[in-house]
A = this chain, B = another copy of it.
Amino acid sequence: MIITFQTDASETQARAAASEAERSGLKAYVRFSGGRWAVAIVGAGRVRPGGADRLNERLAALPGVASITADQQAFVLASRAFVPETTSFSLSDTPDGVRVGGSRLLLIAGPCSVEDRSQLLETALAVKEAGAHALRGGAFKPRTSPYSFQGLGEAGLEMLAEARQLTGLPIVTEVMTPEDLPLVARYADVLQIGARNMQNSPLLHAAGASQKPVLLKRGMSATLEEMLFAAEYILSHDNFRVMVCERGIRTFENSLTRNTTDINAVPVLKSISHLPVMLDPSHSTGSWEYVTAIARAAVAAGADGLIVEVHPHPEQALSDGAQSLKPERFAELVRQVSGIANWMERTV
């Protein structure tokens, strides 16, 4: 249920409505966006929805209320109906840090996996030089086979922290289980939740509770609604620093490309949700030679940012070599993407 207030209504009035709902055992969220306050009211998770004792009528009668809408089937907190303006936030704990969701495109780049100190630092310096705003790199790697490289764990996180020290770039890195989250959160600026874990609800809850920014990747066969419901798990902890990321879906077309970039996802997500929308052209194509064209397309479609795999020596990469750009090719990607962004009235 979403209660929107008149433009001259006050925060106090909105919070009064929230309290009213919470007295009925429900949970309420208060946001100011699009020039008006709004309150979202949702059921409380593990308990069965009880009778709301004519709550609707009491809420409708409160001062300042403009309208009340209820759609039991839909996501609420992630919707534009609740928050009309695109959410913009800093990746760090300071408000003047690198931001996403505003007029500047967010470029995240780096290796698939942290493999060793020199590989990581070399890549970090190169992507910084090329224009990236944040560094990606996996220390915990979800792999299809237990015999594939599984990441360096905490040693990898330490290297990421050193790379941040060296370059000033905030760190985006994956967390795979609630148990590891406190450790990863000590090092990371942004927690990445990977495609395989998009519906790992304990992990989503833990990421929400951490109050860290989250980059949530779409599951390889998740619908866009399911991704927004997954975001809703995080948002339900009043952690609104969530960006969602299209990374290609699994379809029958899987010989010439690894996945199918669902470019429709960009305008659809922008239309129905206020969360910033990222696109990962490395996974969504699986082949470095198509990455730049798809990066351009993503920006032209309206994406708020890109996350790109870069490796100084792709042919030696322990994972995802075929889809990793060399640093000089990434620099060219940034140049091309800037031109498109410029036309879209965005900076890079």
- A interface vs B, CB < 8 Å? 42-43, 45-46, 48, 75, 142-147, 149-153, 176-180, 196-197, 199-204, 219-221, 223-226, 229, 232-233, 236, 249-257, 260-264, 266-268, 271-272, 284-285, 289-290, 293-294, 296-302, 318, 339-340, 342-343
Q: Give the 6 A-B residue pairs with the shortest CB-CB distance, closest first.
A: A221-B221, A300-B300, A267-B293, A297-B297, A263-B263, A296-B300
Known: A221-B252, A264-B260, A284-B264. A232 touches B145 (CB 8 A): yes
Q: List, in ascending order, chain B residues with CB within 8 A of A301's CB.
A: 293-294, 296-297, 300
Residue in contact with A147 in the complex, picked from B45, B255, B296, CB distance below 8 Å:
B45
The reply to whether A179 and B176 form a contact with Cβ atoms under 8 Å apart is no
The reply to whether A254 and B251 form a contact with Cβ atoms under 8 Å apart is no
The reply to whether B201 and A143 form a contact with Cβ atoms under 8 Å apart is yes
The reply to whether A42 and B340 form a contact with Cβ atoms under 8 Å apart is no
User: Which of chain B's residues has its CB closest to A268's CB?
Assistant: B256
- Beyond the given pairs A176-B202, A221-B252, A297-B301, 5 more chain A to chain B contacts, judged by CB atoms under 8 angstroms and listed by A's residue number, are A143-B201, A144-B199, A146-B204, A146-B229, A296-B300
The reply to whether B302 and A293 form a contact with Cβ atoms under 8 Å apart is yes
Q: List, in ascending order, chain B residues with CB within 8 A of A272's CB.
A: 256
Stoichiometry, copies per complex = 4
Known: A290-B264, A298-B297. A146 touches B249 (CB 8 A): no
Q: List, in ascending order, chain B residues with CB within 8 A of A179's CB.
A: 177-179, 202
The reply to whether B42 and A294 form a contact with Cβ atoms under 8 Å apart is no
Inter-chain CA distance A232–B146, complex, in Å, is 7
Residue in contact with A46 in the complex, picked from B149, B254, B257, CB distance below 8 Å:
B149
The reply to whether B226 and A144 form a contact with Cβ atoms under 8 Å apart is yes
The reply to whether B267 and A250 form a contact with Cβ atoms under 8 Å apart is no
Provide a sorted-by-A list of 5 A–B residue pairs whose CB atoms are within 8 angstroms: A176-B202, A197-B200, A264-B290, A267-B293, A271-B290
Known: A177-B177, A221-B252, A251-B252. A145 touches B294 (CB 8 A): no
The reply to whether A264 and B255 form a contact with Cβ atoms under 8 Å apart is no
Inter-chain CA distance A180–B252, complex, in Å, is 32
Q: List, in ascending order, chain B residues with CB within 8 A of A142's CB.
A: 199-201
Q: List, in ascending order, chain B residues with CB within 8 A of A250's CB.
A: 221, 252
Known: A224-B256, A250-B221. A294 touches B263 (CB 8 A): yes
The reply to whether B268 and A75 form a contact with Cβ atoms under 8 Å apart is no
Inter-chain CA distance A236–B48, complex, in Å, is 40
The reply to whether B264 and A252 form a contact with Cβ atoms under 8 Å apart is no
CB distance from A175 to the nearest CB of B (A): 10
Inter-chain CA distance A225–B178, complex, in Å, is 27
CB distance from A18 to the nearest CB of B (A): 17
The reply to whether A177 and B203 form a contact with Cβ atoms under 8 Å apart is yes
User: Which of chain B's residues has its CB closest to A340's CB?
Assistant: B300
Known: A145-B75, A146-B233, A340-B343. A252 touches B268 (CB 8 A): no
The reply to whether B294 and A267 form a contact with Cβ atoms under 8 Å apart is yes
The reply to whether B223 and A252 form a contact with Cβ atoms under 8 Å apart is yes
Q: List, in ascending order, chain B residues with CB within 8 A of A232's CB.
A: 145-147
Known: A225-B256, A252-B221, A253-B223. A300 touches B297 (CB 8 A): yes
Inter-chain CA distance A208–B45, complex, in Å, is 30
Q: List, in ascending order, chain B residues with CB within 8 A of A145's CB.
A: 75, 229, 232
User: Which of chain B's residues has its CB closest to A234's CB?
Assistant: B146
The reply to whether A150 and B46 form a contact with Cβ atoms under 8 Å apart is yes
